[in-house]
Structures are given as structure tokens and as C-alpha cells.
């Protein structure tokens, strides 16, 4: 009986090696939920900002909304460190950034990276959008020296050492709370909450997994805005609806917290102005 025919993936993108080093099993404290949001007022706000020259997207609005929610509920802006819950002093957003592969291999060699927006709760949605665009451009063009240097490590790191490297770096940065920027490692590289836009990839909505070494207790996946039937004043109407996939760490955020977080996000998205 013949063995399964297969061959090793040649020149895999760095993201594949990082993903390999991220999870050893499916055992984790993740809880999943979704939020459906009527985007009527939010899209009106986006259009008004566009006339002013500001390029705002639902992903920027979600970042602003969750920043304000974490500011209002600081007990959720936390991480697990040394078997205890530690509260952060600032709200930092981590946005995942898709980096296409080289010409002719845009999809199969595409990879993921990310950028942080510090003190996001003190910034307007316009400021968040501008800073994100600038940092994402630097990552895609390879001019962000810290990220480029760290990504290059995985090109030469054996697969078997990826998990060890990631966990060791996390222990130094988060476990021991060391600032290793002089060694080329970013300080607090993942922030308070992770946000990824799957809608930009053409996906209606979905859930994304928490990554243990990031110490991030909350991850929000932003889907597409689609027209759906929506009940307004006991009448069914067609409204633009955004679906958010939310993954949270149950060790920090329980059902009561999740409900309050969802309420505050919906409240902001209902009227961003």
C-alpha cells in the first residue's frame, strides 16, 4: 500500500513558521462570540470624513470603539503575568497587517505582520487612521527596521526552535517586563487588543485564534459590511450590517464583561460623531 504522496513546502512565508511556533495544541481558554452592528450612522460618518480628506474605514472605528471601552473598563485592559492578572496603564491597539508575497507569488508567499497604536484611547479615529496607514506602509515597504529585523530571524530559524524562541521572547518582554528595544525587540509588541480585518480579504466574517505568547486577552475580527434585514421599530428594513467575530481569554474576561464590552462598542458605532 503506497504512502501518502506529498512534498515539503519550499520557501514557506515567515508567517507559517511563526504560526507553527504559536500553538502546540488546541487546549486554551478562548471564548468566541459575535456582534452584529447596524452601520447606517457609521457609514454616514465615514462619508463625511471622506469629504474632509480623511480615509476612515470600519476597522478604524472598531479600534476607536474598543479603546474607549477599555478605558471605561480598565479591569479588562490586562494580561496574565507570573500567574497573576496585571492591569495596563495605557490602551494599545495591535492591528494585523497583510504583506503580499513577491510579484507572481502574492498569495502563496503572503505573510502577516502588525503594528501598534499606543495611547489609542487618547487619539481620535482620524489620528488612529493616519498613524495606522503610515506604520502599515513602513511594514509593507520594509522600512520598519525593528519588524524587518525580527522577521528576518525566522527565515533562518529552524522550525523546531520557533516555539522556543517565541515563548522565550514573550517571557523576557512580558514575564520579566524587560525593555529590549536595544536588542531589536519591540517593547510591548502586541498591546491590549488585537484587531484583524477579514472583510478586507473578501470574507463575510469569522473568528481568529488568540496567540498565547502575545498575552492579549481580546481579539476582534472585522468582517464585511453587507445589506441585511434588520428590525427597526418592529418593522423589517434593509440596513448595512457589520459582523464582528470576538475571541476573548476567559481567564480575564467573563460573560458579564463581554456583554458590557459589546454594549459599549455598539454604542459608539451607533453614532461615532
Q: Is 77 exposed, middle or buried (0-12, 13-18, 19+ CB in 10 A)?
A: buried
Strand residues in 151-266 grouped as ranges (E): 193-197, 218-232, 235-249
Q: Which residues pair with 232 in a beta bridge?
A: 235
Q: What pTM was estimated for this model as a whole?
A: 0.84
The answer on pLDDT for 258 being more than 50 is yes
232-236 mean pLDDT: 90
For residue range 148-183, list pLDDT tens digits in order.
Answer: 777 777 778 888 888 888 889 888 888 888 888 877
C-alpha atoms less than 13 angstroms from C-alpha of 36 in its C-beta half-sphere: 9
The per-residue pLDDT for 106 is 47
Q: How far apart are CA 207 and CA 219, in angstroms?
A: 9
Q: How far apart are CA 35 and CA 263, in angstroms?
A: 9
Are the C-beta atoms of residues 4 and 102 closer than 8 Å to each other?
no
Cell of 169: 521572547
Identify the band that residue 15 occupies on the pLDDT scale cut at 50, 70 and 90. Answer: low
Are the C-beta atoms of residues 92 and 114 closer than 8 Å to each other?
no
Amino acid at each position: 500500500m503506497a504512502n501518502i504522496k506529498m512534498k515539503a513546502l519550499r520557501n514557506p512565508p515567515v508567517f507559517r513558521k511563526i504560526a507553527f511556533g504559536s500553538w502546540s495544541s488546541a487546549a486554551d481558554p478562548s471564548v468566541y462570540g459575535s456582534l452584529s452592528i447596524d452601520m447606517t450612522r457609521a457609514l454616514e460618518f465615514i462619508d463625511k470624513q471622506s469629504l474632509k480628506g480623511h480615509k476612515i474605514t470600519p476597522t478604524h472605528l472598531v479600534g476607536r470603539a474598543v479603546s474607549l471601552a477599555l478605558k471605561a473598563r480598565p479591569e479588562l485592559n490586562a494580561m496574565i503575568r507570573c500567574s497573576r492578572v496585571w492591569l495596563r496603564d495605557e490602551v494599545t491597539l495591535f492591528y494585523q497587517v497583510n504583506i503580499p508575497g513577491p510579484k507572481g507569488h502574492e498569495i502563496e508567499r503572503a505573510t502577516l505582520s502588525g503594528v501598534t497604536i499606543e495611547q489609542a484611547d487618547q487619539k481620535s479615529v482620524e489620528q488612529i487612521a493616519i498613524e495606522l496607514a503610515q506604520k502599515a506602509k513602513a511594514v509593507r515597504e520594509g522600512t520598519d527596521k525593528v519588524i524587518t529585523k525580527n522577521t528576518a530571524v525566522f527565515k533562518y530559524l529552524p522550525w523546531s526552535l520557533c516555539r522556543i524562541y517565541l515563548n522565550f521572547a514573550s517571557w523576557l518582554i512580558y514575564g520579566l517586563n524587560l525593555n529590549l528595544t536595544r536588542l531589536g525587540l519591540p517593547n510591548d509588541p502586541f498591546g491590549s487588543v488585537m484587531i484583524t480585518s477579514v472583510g478586507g480579504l473578501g470574507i463575510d466574517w469569522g473568528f481568529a485564534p488568540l496567540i498565547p505568547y502575545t498575552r492579549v486577552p481580546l481579539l476582534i475580527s472585522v468582517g464585511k459590511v453587507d445589506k441585511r434585514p434588520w428590525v427597526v421599530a418592529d418593522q423589517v428594513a434593509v440596513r448595512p450590517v457589520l459582523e464582528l467575530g470576538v475571541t476573548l481569554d476567559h481567564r480575564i474576561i467573563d460573560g458579564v464583561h463581554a456583554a458590557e464590552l459589546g454594549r459599549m462598542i455598539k454604542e459608539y458605532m451607533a453614532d461615532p460623531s
